[in-house]
């Protein structure tokens, strides 16, 4: 008692399942978040040489600043009077990044209040001028 097999229904069912699979994959692919990339990639590439020269100037002049974190106060001691900025970059959220101006005048020490910063790891970017020379220095610190 073998029944006649209808191949047409099997082919149509297979094609329908394949089409459903393709539709499912398309919906899933477009539902994923877009790749996050740096929109300023090319600008940063063009400025790399300038930043590298500033970082090299720190090494050449032995101008590495001393950075100490005391609670919610960040003390930065420069080798000479400095004017510039300090940028606190939060690796986990760009919205938390903050920039503060620095002007040490004669005492060579800058104190930056970190009360507006959340606890955790921060990337500090110091960009300053001393004796008419530009400098750039980066360091990781923990704010408690």
Give a three-class secondary structure readout of 58-91.
Answer: HHHCCCCCEEEEECCEEEEECCCCCEEEEEEECC
Report the domain count for the chain: 1
Cα distances (Å, whole numbers) of residue 84 to 11, 76, 99: 73, 12, 10
Residues in the chain: 144
Give percent of the chain with pLDDT exceeding 90. Answer: 38
Does 15 reside within a domain? no
HSE toward the beta carbon, residue 65, CA cutoff 13 A: 32
Given pLDDT bands bounded at 50, 70 and 90, which one contains residue 43? confident
Q: Which domain holds residue 128?
A: 57-143
The pLDDT value given to residue 33: 67
Tens-place pLDDT, residues 61-76:
999 999 998 878 888 9
The pLDDT value given to residue 116: 84
Q: What is the overall mean pLDDT for the chain?
A: 86
Does 98 reside within a domain? yes
Does 31 reside within a domain? no
Does 62 reside within a domain? yes
Does 10 reside within a domain? no
Does 76 reside within a domain? yes
71: which 2 tokens? Answer: 């609670």
Which residues neighbour 50 within 8 Å (Cβ) at sequence distance 6 or greater? none
């Amino acid at each position: 008692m073998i029944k006649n097999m209808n191949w047409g229904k099997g082919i149509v069912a297979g094609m329908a399942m394949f089409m459903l699979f393709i539709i499912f994959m398309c919906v899933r692919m477009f539902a994923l978040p877009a790749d996050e990339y740096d929109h300023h990639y090319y600008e940063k590439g063009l400025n790399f040489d300038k930043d590298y020269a500033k970082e090299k100037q720190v090494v050449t002049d032995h101008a590495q600043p001393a950075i100490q974190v005391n609670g919610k106060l960040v003390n930065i001691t420069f080798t000479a009077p400095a004017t510039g900025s300090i940028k606190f970059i939060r690796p986990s959220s760009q919205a938390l990044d903050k920039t503060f101006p620095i002007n040490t005048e004669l005492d060579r020490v800058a104190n930056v209040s970190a009360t507006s910063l959340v606890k955790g790891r921060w990337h500090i970017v110091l960009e300053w001028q001393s004796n008419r020379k530009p400098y750039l220095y980066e360091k990781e610190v923990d704010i408690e």
